[in-house]
């Protein structure tokens, strides 16, 4: 007998306790909704908690199925590849020299810096 099968009664009890707790919280939120201070937030929680209880039961069901028939192991020897065309192409940077406006603007800024005496490239600014 596998170790997980020996622990199955404990998992069943845990699943029942978790689902019961979720249903108890749903009932509590429903009574809060029906009270004078209740609002629609309590109603939302009252409708969510049964879904959480269902998830507890579903998780236990999936655990038992994986225990009885585990998924087939994947071959780790062969590399997996991303199919061509799945990812978008990387954007290509425009060459800096091709932008005439940028080159003229940089020349203008360099001329302004020289005329002000703030030549930062030499580090001798005033």
Q: Which DSSP state fits 111?
A: H
The residue whose two tokens read 């003229």 is 104
pLDDT (0 to 100) of residue 126:
47
How far, in Å, CA of 95 to CA of 92, rounded? Answer: 9
In a domain, 96, yes or no: no
Put simply, whether the predicted model's pTM sits higher than 0.85 gets the answer no
- Residues contacting residue 30 through CB under 8 Å, at least 6 positions apart: 42, 43, 46
The pLDDT value recorded for residue 111 is: 93
Q: What local confidence, expressed as pLDDT, does residue 50 receive?
A: 97
* Domain-located, residue 38: yes
For the chain, the domain total comes to: 1
Q: Which residues of the chain register pLDDT less than 50?
A: 125-126
Domain of 21 in residue numbering reads as 3-68
Distance in angstroms between the alpha carbons of the first and the last residue of the chain: 85
What pLDDT was estimated at residue 4? Answer: 59
88 in a domain, yes or no? no
Whether 92 maps to a domain, the answer reads no
Whole-number average pLDDT of the chain:
84
Q: Decide if 102 is inside a domain.
A: no
**pLDDT one-digit tens code per residue, 83-92:** 888 888 888 8
pLDDT digits (tens, 9 = 90+) for 32-55: 999 988 899 999 999 999 999 999
DSSP symbols for 47-105? HHHHHHHHHHHHHHHHHHHHHHSPPPPP-SSSPP-PPTTSSPPPPPPPPGGG-HHHHHH
The per-residue pLDDT for 24 is 97
Which residues lie closer than 8 Å to 56 by C-beta, 6 or more apart? 15, 18, 19, 22
């Amino acid at each position: 007998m596998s170790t997980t099968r020996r622990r199955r009664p404990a998992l069943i009890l845990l699943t029942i306790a978790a689902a019961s707790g979720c249903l108890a919280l749903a009932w509590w939120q429903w009574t809060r909704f029906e009270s004078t201070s209740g609002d629609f937030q309590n109603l939302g929680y009252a409708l969510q908690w049964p879904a959480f209880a269902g998830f507890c039961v579903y998780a236990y069901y999936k655990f038992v199925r994986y225990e009885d028939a585990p998924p087939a192991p994947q071959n780790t020897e062969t590399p997996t590849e991303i199919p061509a065309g799945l990812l978008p192409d990387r954007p290509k940077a425009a060459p800096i020299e091709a932008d005439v406006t940028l080159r003229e603007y940089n020349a203008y800024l360099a001329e302004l810096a020289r005329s002000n005496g703030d030549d930062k490239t030499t580090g001798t600014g005033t």
